[in-house]
Every structure is written in C-alpha cells, then in structure tokens.
C-alpha cells in the first residue's frame, strides 16, 4: 500500500526518505511543502526529479475537492461539500466568531451511532477518514477563503471516538508547530459518549475540550433518541467525565438539543441541574434543528428561557447556541452526504 504523505509526521517522512535512499532532512522538506500547498508529488519542485519518481511509486497525497460551496446570506457561514479520492463526500462548516474563525469538520463518512435527531447517521457508516482527510478540510478551506482557521470543532459528520487512532493522529498533526500549529485548547472533540474511549482520551495528554452530547436528563429519555444510551448509563458517562476533568483539569461541555415535548420541560431542567450540579462544566443548549426524516420540533422561545434559567439556579454555566448558516442547512446535526437536496 502506498504511504499517505499528509497523514505522516516529519519523523515518519524522514524514515520513508531514508528508505528511498535520500537524506533525512527531506522529511521536513516534504512536511512543510504539504502545508504550503503541495497537492501532487510533482509540486515538490525542490526535490530531485528521480526522487519524485520513486516517491510517486511509493506514496500519494489524498485529496478533498470542493464539490459544492454554500455561503450563508445571513452571517457569511460557509458550508463545503468535499469529494474524497474514492468519490465519497463529507461536509465541513466555516464560521466567523469574534474569538476567531472556527471550522467544524467531519471525522467519518456517515456515522453508525444512530441518534434519532441527526441527519449524518441516516445512511449508516460508510468509512472512517484518514488524518489527512481531516486536515484537508481545513487546508482547502483556508486556501479557498484566504483566511486562517484558529479553532476546530470535531462536530461534523461521524463519531470521532469511533475513529480513535486517526483522530488522535490528526490532533497531533494539526497541532504540530511546523504544520498548522493550532493549539489543542482551541479544539473541541464532541462525542455521543463512548465511555471506554473517553477514559483512553484522558490518558493521551492532549488538552482538548471534551464535549458530551447528553441531550437528556435521565437514561429513560436518553434511550429514546440515542442508541448509545443502551450501552452506557448516564452515571457511567458522568464518571468518565469526572475522571477526564481530574486528569486534564479541563471543564466538560455538555451539549443538550432542546426538543419540544421530549426533553425541554421545567421539571427536566431541574433534573439536569441536579445531575450536573457541582461538576466543572458548561451546558450548551441547542434548539434542535429540524431534519427531514423526523418531525422533532424546536422548543418555544419561552420554554428555552425557562429551561436556561432553571439550570442556572444550580450554579451551572449555560449558553444557548447561536444558529449560524440557517439558510444553508449548516447547523448541528444537518450535515449529510451529497444525495441531500440542500
């Protein structure tokens, strides 16, 4: 199998160069060339031609071609549909916040977690992405817009912890000082709650922000919308969150999609408050975004207000997520493969 150059660290590239009879420093040359925009082995014009030919036989650079690009007329949010080397497609979203440009990237083509409210999982999992394919979502967007990305959220299609090794490598690559050099503290990893993997992540020594898609104040309601809740209870999930905080010192962010009549009553807000009270955490309320397969309804304005204020009485920090890119279906849970009609 050919080596995927963009998924490799400088040291790994050096090893490959040595194997192919070249000096070690060529590894860093290739690494830096990739982040400067090389997308074809012949773009490395500083490398001897004979070496490029040998490299061509042994390695390749994956691609993410912009197949469609939608720009929101409301807030300038940009949604990309990228086509990968095998014709599969993934979506990414570029958002401008006052704290910097944020890119929401996908980690898998499709998803096998099966959450009832989410569009990304409707056709199941097609395949996981390589580290390079996660990097390309950022690199191609930066090149297209001529702007830098400073924050990343792993909140696009896919379950990051279900593609564990590739996501870990991506995090280390994107943080590399000779590459994009994006701080790990500026990266959020969101999971529906794979408890064993959260524990593994806590031992990686990567200070990313952990976001938990909670979406319910108890197991019974959670099981109605999230199949993963049949595998692990909320108690087990919160246990892993506490261990994560103990080991990393980082506060947990809980995502809670408010669905009218399902999980948005005042009583349920109290239940959520009691559940999280005393934890080093932040609650992010997301009025659910409608998808065509399900008629989940967004909570009423007043219900959102009451819910927020009720949770706040437990001294928990709560924000209601702003909805960016509403006119281009760029919001949470609306990303899907190319066959959609948006």
User: Hey, which residues are catalytic here?
Assistant: 91, 332
* Contact residues for 76 (Cβ-Cβ < 8 A; gap 6+): 96
Tell me how far apart the alpha carbons of residues 117 and 128 are, in angstroms, rounded to a whole number.
Answer: 21
Q: Could you please report the per-residue DSSP string of 45-57?
A: TTS-HHHHHHHHH
Residue nearest to ligand SAH (CB): 333
Phi, psi (rounded to 5 degrees) for 183: -65, 140
- Residue 192 Cβ vs ligand SAH, minimum distance, rounded to whole Å: 4
Please choose, from the candidates 95, 138, 152, 68, the residue with its C-alpha nearest in 3D space to the C-alpha of residue 336. 68
Distance from the Cα of residue 118 to its chain's centroid: 14
Nearer to ligand SAH, 34 or 212 (CB): 212
With residue 236 as reference, give the H or E element that holds it: helix 234-248
Q: Tell whether the torsion through CA atoms of 171, 173, 176 and 178 is positive or negative.
A: negative
Nearer to ligand SAH, 55 or 93 (CB): 93
The tokens describing 163, both together, are 């593609």
- Residue 9 Cβ vs ligand SAH, minimum distance, rounded to whole Å: 26
Q: Is 280 helix (H, G, I), strand (E, B) or coil?
A: coil
Q: Could you please report the per-residue DSSP string of 88-135?
A: -EEEEEEEEETTEEEEE--SEEE-SS--TT-GGGTT-EEEEPPHHHHH
- Residue 315 Cβ vs ligand SAH, minimum distance, rounded to whole Å: 23
- Residue 287 Cβ vs ligand SAH, minimum distance, rounded to whole Å: 8
Nearer to ligand SAH, 131 or 193 (CB): 193
- The answer to whether the beta carbons of residues 59 and 313 sit under 8 Å apart is no
* Contact residues for 59 (Cβ-Cβ < 8 A; gap 6+): 2, 3, 4, 5, 16, 41
Nearer to ligand SAH, 145 or 326 (CB): 326
Nearer to ligand SAH, 61 or 149 (CB): 149
Nearer to ligand SAH, 113 or 182 (CB): 113
Residues of this chain that interact with ligand SAH (CB under 6 A) are 113, 115, 117-118, 155, 159, 190-192, 213, 255, 257, 286, 288-289, 291, 332-333
- Residue 4 Cβ vs ligand SAH, minimum distance, rounded to whole Å: 23
Counting every residue written for the chain, the total comes to 342
In angstroms and rounded to an integer, the radius of gyration of the C-alpha atoms of the chain is 21
Nearer to ligand SAH, 140 or 255 (CB): 255
| Residue that has been written with the tokens 């379950």 in this structure | 159
- Residue 13 Cβ vs ligand SAH, minimum distance, rounded to whole Å: 30
- Residue 297 Cβ vs ligand SAH, minimum distance, rounded to whole Å: 11
CA distances from 111 to 188, 195, 212 (A): 18, 17, 16
Tell me how far apart the alpha carbons of residues 178 and 173 are, in angstroms, rounded to a whole number.
Answer: 9
Please choose, from the candidates 243, 270, 117, 252, the residue with its C-alpha nearest in 3D space to the C-alpha of residue 189. 252
């Amino acid at each position: 199998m050919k080596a995927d150059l963009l998924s490799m660290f400088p040291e790994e590239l050096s090893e490959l160069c040595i194997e192919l009879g070249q000096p070690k420093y060529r590894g860093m040359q290739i690494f830096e060339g990739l982040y400067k925009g090389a997308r074809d082995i012949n773009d490395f014009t500083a490398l001897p031609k004979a070496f490029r030919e040998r490299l061509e036989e042994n390695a390749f650079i994956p691609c993410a071609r912009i197949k469609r690009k939608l720009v929101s007329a409301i807030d300038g949010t940009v949604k990309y549909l990228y086509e990968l080397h095998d014709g599969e497609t993934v979506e990414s979203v570029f958002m401008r916040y006052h704290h910097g440009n944020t890119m929401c990237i996908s980690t898998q083509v499709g998803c096998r977690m099966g959450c009832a409210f989410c569009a990304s999982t409707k056709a199941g999992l097609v395949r996981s992405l390589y580290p390079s394919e996660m990097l390309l979502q950022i690199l191609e967007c930066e090149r297209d817009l001529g702007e830098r990305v400073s924050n990343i959220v792993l909140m696009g299609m896919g379950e990051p912890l279900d593609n564990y090794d590739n996501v870990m490598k991506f995090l280390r690559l994107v943080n590399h000082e000779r590459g994009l050099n994006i701080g790990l503290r500026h990266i959020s990893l969101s999971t529906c709650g794979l408890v064993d993997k959260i524990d593994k992540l806590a031992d990686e020594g990567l200070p990313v922000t952990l976001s938990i898609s909670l979406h319910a104040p108890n197991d019974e309601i959670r099981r109605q919308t999230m199949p993963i809740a049949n595998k692990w209870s909320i108690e087990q999930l919160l246990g892993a969150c506490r261990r994560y905080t103990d080991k990393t010192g980082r506060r947990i962010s809980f995502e809670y999609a408010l669905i009218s009549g399902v999980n948005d009553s005042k009583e349920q807000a109290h239940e959520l408050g009691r559940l999280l009270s005393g934890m080093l955490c932040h609650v992010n309320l997301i009025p659910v975004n409608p998808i065509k397969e399900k008629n989940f309804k967004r909570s009423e304005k007043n219900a959102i207000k009451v819910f927020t204020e009720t949770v706040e009485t437990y001294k928990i920090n709560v924000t209601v997520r702003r909805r960016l890119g509403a006119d281009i279906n760029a919001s949470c849970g609306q990303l899907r493969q190319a066959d959609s009609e948006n």
